[in-house]
Amino acid sequence: MIQKIAFVGAGSMAEAIIAGIVEKKFLKPEQINVTNKSSKDKLDRLHQKYGVVGSANKEAVIKDADVIVLSMKPKDVTESLKEIKAYIKPEQLVVSILAGVPTDYISQELNSATPVVRTMPNTSATIGYSATAIAAGSFANEYHVSKIVQLFETIGTTTVVEEEDLHAVTAISGSGPAYIYYLVEAMEEAAKEAGLDRPVAKELIVQTLVGAAEMLKTTKEEPSELRRRITSPGGTTQAGIETLASYDYQEAIKACVKKAANRSKELGKPFQS
C-alpha cells in the first residue's frame, strides 16, 4: 500500500490525478503532498479544494514518499531533477507523466538505481475516466509496475505497454480528449448556426458522444459497422459523411495523430543519450 505520494508539479494533469485519487478515497488527502515551481496560490487552492498538503519545501514533500510523481513540463524536468535528486532514495518509486522524456534520462539525472515507471494518463482522470498507459523504465520490475497500475486504476483504465510505444499512445489517448473537445466546439457552433438553443444543443451533443462511446464499448462492433447502420442510402448521414470525406476528414485525423506522435519524439530528443 502507498502511504505517501508526492507530486512535483501542480498543474492541470497533477490536479486531474489528485482529484481522481481523492474522489475514489484511494488515499487520504493528507497522504498526498504537492509542490510546484513558485506559485503558493496554486498550492493553497489545491489544499482548499482537495485537502492535500501543498508546500514549497521540496525536501519535506519528497521525504518519506513511497511514490514521487514527476508532473512538470518536459522543459522544466532537468532543473527540477537537480533540485530534488538529493532527497530521492533507491527505495522510493519515481513515476513520470511527462510526454516524450525517456526514463533513462531521469535515471541518469538522478544518478541512482531508483526505479522509474513512465505513464501517459489523460485529463479525464478528474472523473475517474483516464485511459492511462504504463511502461516499466529503468530499474523498475513487475512489482513496481503493478504498484503503479493499482494507483492509476483509481483514475480510470490502465494498459501496460513498451516504453517506445508511448509516443503513439500520447498522440492517441494523452492528447485525444482535446481532439474530441475540438469536434464538440465545431458541432456547437454548427448547431448555433442551425438555430438551436445552446443548452438544447449541448445536451444533445454530449449524450450523442456518450452514447456512441458506450456503443463501441458495449457492442464491441467495428466503428465502420456502427456507422453503416446509421447511414441510410440517400439519407442525411450519407450527405453529412460525404461532406466530411470531401474535406479529407479521416486524412486530417491521421495527420493529426502522426504530427502529435512526432512532437512527442521531438520533445524527447534533448533528453536522448
Ligand X SMILES: NC(=O)C1=CN([C@@H]2O[C@H](COP(=O)(O)OP(=O)(O)OC[C@H]3O[C@@H](n4cnc5c(N)ncnc54)[C@H](O)[C@@H]3O)[C@@H](O)[C@H]2O)C=CC1
Q: In what order do the strands lie in the sheet with 67-70?
A: 53-54, 32-35, 5-8, 67-70, 93-96, 116-120, 130-136, 156-160
Nearer to ligand A1CAB, 68 or 267 (CB): 267
Q: Which of 43, 99, 140, 145 binds ligand A1CAB (CB under 6 A)?
A: 99
Does 158 engage in binding with ligand A1CAB (CB under 6 A)? no
Alpha-carbon dihedral sign for residues 173, 143, 59, 55: positive
Identified binder of ligand X from the candidate list 22, 69, 94, 97, rule CB under 6 A: 97
203 to 242, contacts with ligand X by CB under 6 A?
Answer: none
Q: Does 72 bind ligand X (CB under 6 A)?
A: yes
Q: How many CB atoms lie within 10 A of CB 83?
A: 16
Beta strands, E only, 84-152: 93-96, 116-120, 130-136
71 binds, among ligand A1CAB, ligand X, none (CB under 5 to 8 A by kind): ligand X
Dist. CA 272–CA 269, nearest whole Å: 5
Decide: is 17 part of the binding site for ligand X (CB under 6 A).
no
Q: Which triple of cell numbers denotes residue 38?
A: 513558485
- One residue of 122, 124, 138, 154 binding ligand X per CB under 6 A: 122
Relative to beta strand 130-136, strand 116-120 is: antiparallel
C-alpha cell at 3: 502511504
Asked if 80 interacts with ligand X (CB under 6 A), we say yes
Instruction: Select from ligand A1CAB, ligand X, none the partner in contact with residue 124, using the beta carbon and a kind-dependent cut-off of 5 to 8 Å.
Output: none
3-class DSSP assignment, residue 96: strand
Residues near ligand X (CB under 6 A) are: 8-14, 35-37, 39, 71-74, 76, 79-80, 83, 97-99, 120-123, 174
Residues near ligand A1CAB (CB under 6 A) are: 99, 170, 174-175
